[in-house]
């Protein structure tokens, strides 16, 4: 699925290998495991794409959680600008984000950069596993960085819980939940303290964007898979959510690959929705 243009959201391992060492290239390791907080830093230390910097999903791509937020609230524009500056980011940077394989975590950085107006960002198709399979260069040394000053930019296309409630009530919004069907239906909830989903939400698990080998499906197949959901959403703005606003970005990237625009992100997602016991909850399909 390699493309010649940076405008395409994905990049193949062979294309990235050819770019390694380019002056504007910024590779970011986003490996993460929700159940093992130390996994990402340990994986980076054990071996990463040569020249890559490390992004902590919980510390760099999210703000600290509070009693009134979801599990991974967006960082402030100022804090995210400081993170980018620490990586040596500039307006010319060609950012390539990667994770273990599926892009579930790397897509968060892709969306964050795109939403603040930076178009030169891609996700490594197949992630770390694809890089190793392609014989890509691996390093265990921290990557040298020349820090930069980055101006804060707001995140565009973000909706809050009140906007979700209003959008659903008015019929202007189609809320699409990326969680697995059992969690959406209120069964087998092991992460959040309340099970279920936002009433009126549609379920489209992000894993449906991938083949069995954790590679992104071709655009034509994504369009086919998304067709039933988009038919139900016809005429309404698609707003993506999940448990905490991370894997929802996987669906947003998939929709871009499929050629569907006019999307938003409910960044707080389910873990934010349930912070107010007055908000309604649904279970079942």
Q: Catalytic positions, please? A: 242
Pair 59, 73: CB distance under 8 Å: no
Long-range (24+ apart) CB contacts under 8 A made by 218-223 are 218/1, 219/257, 219/258, 219/259, 222/254, 222/257, 222/258, 223/258, 223/259
Contact 279, 137 (CB under 8 A): no
Q: For residues 89 and 92, what is the distance between their CA atoms, to the nearest angstrom? A: 8
Tokens matching residue 88: 């040596």
Contacts by 219-225, CB closer than 8 A, 24 or more apart? 219/257, 219/258, 219/259, 222/254, 222/257, 222/258, 223/258, 223/259
Q: Please name every residue paired with 175 in a beta bridge, in sequence order, or none if there are none.
A: 239
């Amino acid at each position: 699925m390699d493309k010649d243009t940076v405008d395409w959201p994905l990049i193949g391992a062979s294309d990235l290998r050819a770019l390694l060492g380019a002056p504007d290239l910024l590779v970011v390791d986003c490996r993460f495991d929700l159940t093992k907080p130390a996994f990402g830093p340990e994986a980076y230390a054990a071996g990463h794409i040569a020249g890559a910097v490390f992004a902590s999903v919980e510390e760099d791509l999210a703000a600290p959680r509070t009693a009134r937020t979801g599990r991974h609230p967006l960082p402030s524009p100022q804090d995210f600008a400081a993170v980018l500056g620490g990586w040596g980011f500039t307006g010319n940077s060609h950012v390539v984000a990667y994770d273990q394989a599926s892009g579930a975590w790397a897509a968060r950085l892709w969306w964050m950069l795109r939403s603040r107006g930076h178009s030169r960002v891609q996700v490594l198709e197949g992630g770390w596993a694809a890089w190793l399979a392609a014989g890509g260069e691996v390093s265990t040394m921290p990557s040298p960085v020349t820090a930069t000053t980055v101006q804060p930019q707001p995140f565009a296309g973000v909706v809050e819980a009140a906007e979700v409630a209003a959008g659903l009530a008015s019929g202007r919004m189609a809320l699409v939940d990326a969680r697995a069907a059992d969690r959406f239906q209120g069964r087998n909830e092991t992460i959040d303290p309340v099970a279920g989903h936002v009433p009126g939400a549609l379920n489209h698990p992000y894993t449906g964007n991938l083949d069995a080998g954790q590679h992104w499906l071709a655009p034509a197949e994504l369009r086919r898979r998304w067709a039933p959901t988009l038919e139900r959403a016809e005429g309404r703005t698609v707003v993506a959510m999940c448990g905490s606003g991370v894997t929802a970005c996987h669906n947003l990237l998939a929709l871009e690959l499929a050629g569907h625009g006019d999307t938003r992100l409910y960044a707080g997602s389910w873990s934010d929705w349930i912070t107010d016991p007055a908000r309604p909850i649904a279970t079942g399909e």
